[in-house]
């Protein structure tokens, strides 16, 4: 149990028994931050239970959650490469903390947990992408030593609005 700013929360890995909680927060983040994620609420809300369970059952994926009183309030996903020549690389995806719980160090602790798993699993490099306008997330990633190495222009299109991604990487 981690206690910060009078809020107690646990950080732990999700498994298939958490699929309903994962589904709920995943759909919430897709509604709240449409421009930050490549997937959409409209697409993922149609997924059946089997797809959600499968997402939490893959051996190369660690979905990490922050819980307050057994309620899932934040997630981050670590995806390790399965290709033989690329097993030293993993990606950080789907970082999200509910608005009511932001600015309390929860995202920091989620990312720290993911980095520890990556190190223990022999990962040497972590990559991620973040919408260029998400300055809070970029600052967090920079605290951990992630460095911007490029930009992917106009990656996400919503209606007639385009959003570019900063590409960031870190050796571990």
E runs forming strands in 17-146: 61-68, 71-80, 89-97, 125-131
Which residue in 147, 133, 141 sits closest to 110, CA to CA?
141
Domain count, the chain: 1
What is the per-residue pLDDT across 73-121, written as a single tens digit (0 to 9) for each?
Answer: 999 999 999 999 999 999 999 999 999 999 999 999 999 999 999 999 9
Note whether 123 and 89 are within 8 A (CB): yes
Give the pLDDT mean for 134-153.
Answer: 98
pLDDT score recorded for residue 135: 96
Give CA–CA dist 42/17, Å, rounded: 24
CATH number at residue 29: 3.40.630.30
Confidence label for 2 from pLDDT (cuts 50, 70 and 90):
low
What is the per-residue pLDDT across 155-167, written as a single tens digit (0 to 9) for each?
Answer: 999 999 999 999 9
Give CA–CA dist 11/113, Å, rounded: 8
Domain of 113 in residue numbering reads as 2-171
H-helix or E-strand spanning residue 52: helix 49-55
Confidence label for 6 from pLDDT (cuts 50, 70 and 90):
very low
Q: What is the pTM assigned to this prediction?
A: 0.93
Q: Is the pLDDT of residue 38 over 80?
A: yes
């Amino acid at each position: 149990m981690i206690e910060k700013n009078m809020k107690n929360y646990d950080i732990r890995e999700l498994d298939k028994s958490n699929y309903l909680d994962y589904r709920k927060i995943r759909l919430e983040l897709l509604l709240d931050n449409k421009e930050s994620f490549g997937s959409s609420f409209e697409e993922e809300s149609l997924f059946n239970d089997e797809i959600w369970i499968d997402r939490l059952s893959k051996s190369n994926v660690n979905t990490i959650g922050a819980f307050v009183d057994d309620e899932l309030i934040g997630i981050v996903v670590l995806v390790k490469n399965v290709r033989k020549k690329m097993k030293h690389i993993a990606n950080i995806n789907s970082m999200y903390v509910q608005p009511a719980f932001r600015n309390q160090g929860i995202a920091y602790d989620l990312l720290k947990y993911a980095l520890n798993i990556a190190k223990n699993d022999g990962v040497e490099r972590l990559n991620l992408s973040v919408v260029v306008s998400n300055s809070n997330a970029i600052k967090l990633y920079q605290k951990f030593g992630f460095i911007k190495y490029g930009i992917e222009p106009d990656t996400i299109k919503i209606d007639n609005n385009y959003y570019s991604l900063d590409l960031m990487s870190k050796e571990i």
